Structure 1
Amino acid sequence: MPQYHDYNYSNFTGVSEQRRGLLKTYTWMFFGLLITAATSYLMYATNLYFAIIRGPMPLILMLVQFGIAFGFTGAMRSASSLTMKVLFVVFAITMGISLTSLGIVYQLGTIFVAFLVSAVYFACLMVIGFTTKKDLSSFGTICLGGLCALIITQVILMLFGFNMNTRLISIVGLLLFTGITAWDVQRTNQLMANTSGMTQEKFAIFMALELYLDFINIFLYVLRLLGMSSNRD
C-alpha cells in the first residue's frame, strides 16, 4: 500500500504569510530610505534647499514629521493601508529635506562611510532580532525610557546653556537604539506571524516606519561620532 504523509498545510500557509509580511515591511523601509536619500541629494545638488528652508519652513517640517509619527498609531485603527503609505512617503520626503543640512555640516565622504557603517550595524541587529529566543520586550521598553530621559536631559542642558558632551550623548543614543532596533525587528517578526490580509499590510507599513526611524537615528549618531573624529584629525 502507498504511504501518504500528513503535511500540515496550515503551517506552510502561515509561514508564507509571515514571509510576505516581512518582505512588505523591509521593502517599504528601504523604499523610504531611498526616497529620503534621493530628496536630500536633489535639494543639495540643485541648491533648492537654501531657497525653501527659510522662515517657518523648518518648524513646519518638524511639526509634519511629529504629527505623522505620533498619528500612525491612530491611523492603524481608522485609516486605510493606502493612506498609511501616503503618510509614510510624505514623512520620508520631509525627512529628506531636513537631512539635507548634513551635506553642509559634514563632508560627503564622511556621510557615505557613516551610511555604510550604519547599514552593517543595522543588518547585525536584524540578525539578533530574528534569531534570539529571548523576549526583548522588557529590554526594549527600558531603552525607550532611557531614550526619553536622554532627550529630556538634552533639552534641559540646551535651555540652561550647559555644554553638552556630544560624544557621550552619541554613544548613549547609539546604545539605546541598538536595543530598540533589535526589539523592533523581533516585534515585526511576531506581528507578521500573527496577522494576515489587510491587517498585516497596515502593520507592515507601521513597522516599516519604526525600523526606518531606527535606521535614521543610528545613522545620525554614527555620523556624529565619525564627524567628530574627522574634525579632530
Structure 2
Amino acid sequence: MRQVYLWLMAGLLVAFGIAFILGAPIRDLLNVALSGEATAAQLAQLERAITSSPLLNPVLSIVALIAYFILAFALQPIIMRANVTVGAAFYFLFTALFGYMLGGILLAYQIADITAALIATAGMFGVMSFLGYTTKIDLSRFGSILIMALIGLIIASIVNIFLRSPAITWIISYAGVLIFAGFTAYDTQWIKNNAAEIAATGDQTSAQRIALIGAFHLFLDFVNLFLFLLRIFGSSRE
C-alpha cells in the first residue's frame, strides 16, 4: 500500500499544483476587482489575464475534457498492458488534465472554502481508507450498490442541469460525499487484497501495475470527494 499512496500523493501534487499555478494570476486580480478598490489599470490587467489564460480558453478546455474522459476509461488497460514507465506517464498525464480543469473550477470559490474542503477531504479520505484497510467485513458485496448509486447520481446531476433546483443540488452534493467515501473504503480493500495475492507470486512488475491502478482509483475517489465537499462549503457560505 505504501507504493499506492506515494503514487496517489504524487498525482494529487501534480493536479493541485497545476490548478493553483494556472489560476493564481487571475485569482489575485479577481480579489482586487471584487474588493471594489481596483484601479483602471488593474481592471485592464484582469481583462488581459482572462483573455490570455489557458484555463478560460474554450478550445483547450474542450480538448482537455475529451482527453480526460478518454483516459479515464483507457488508463487502467494501458497500465495493465504497457510497461510501468509508460503507465506512469499516462497516469501523470491524466492527473495533469484534471489539474487543468480543476484550475477553472477553483476560480469560482474563495480560498477559505477551498482550504476547508481540502482539509475535510483529507480527513474523511484518511478515515475511510483506514477503515477499508483494517475492516474484516468483505466490502466487495457493496461494489454493485456503489456503482448503481453513482449512476443514479450522474442521472440526477444531468436532470438538475435543466431543473436548477437548489434542493436537488444539496441532495446531490451530500449523496456524492457518501458515495465516494464508500468507494474509498471499497477501493482500499480491493487494492489490499489484490496486492497481497500478487505479492505471494513475487511478480514485481504486476505489483507495480497494481500500485498504479490503485493510485488511479483512489485519486478519483479523493478528487470527487473534494469537489462535492467544495460545493457544500461554497453553498453554505452563500
Which TM-score bucket, shorter chain as reference? 0.7 to 0.9
**In structure 2, what is the equivalent of residue 97 of structure 1?**
100
**In structure 2, what is the equivalent of residue 130 of structure 1?**
133
Could you tell me which runs of 5 or more consecutive residues in structure 1 were left unpaired when the two chains were aligned: 1-21
For 1:95 and 1:180, the matched residues in 2 are separated by 19
**In structure 2, what is the equivalent of residue 171 of structure 1?**
174
C-alpha RMSD over aligned residues: 1.5
**In structure 1, what is the equivalent of residue 71 of structure 2?**
68
Higher helix share: 2
Pairing 1:36–2:15 present: yes
> Which residue of 106, 114, 122 corresponds with 2:109?
106
Pairing 1:197–2:176 present: no
Maintained 8 Å contact 2:79/2:212 = no
For 2:175 and 2:210, the matched residues in 1 are separated by 29
Question: What does the per-residue CA deviation read over 1:78-137, in whole Å, with 9 as the maximum and x for residues that have no partner?
Answer: 211111100111111111111112332110011011100110000100111011111111
> Which residue of 196, 220, 232 corresponds with 1:225?
232
Could you tell me which runs of 5 or more consecutive residues in structure 2 were left unpaired when the two chains were aligned: 27-48
Question: What does the per-residue CA deviation read over 1:209-232, in whole Å, with 9 as the maximum and x for residues that have no partner?
Answer: 10011000111111111111111x
TM-score by length of 2: 0.83
Deviates more, 1:148-157 or 1:177-186: 148-157
Deviates more, 1:220-229 or 1:42-51: 42-51
Relative contact order: is structure 1 or structure 2 higher (C-alpha 8 Å, sep ≥ 6)?
1
> Which residue of 131, 152, 157 corresponds with 1:154?
157
TM-score by length of 1: 0.84
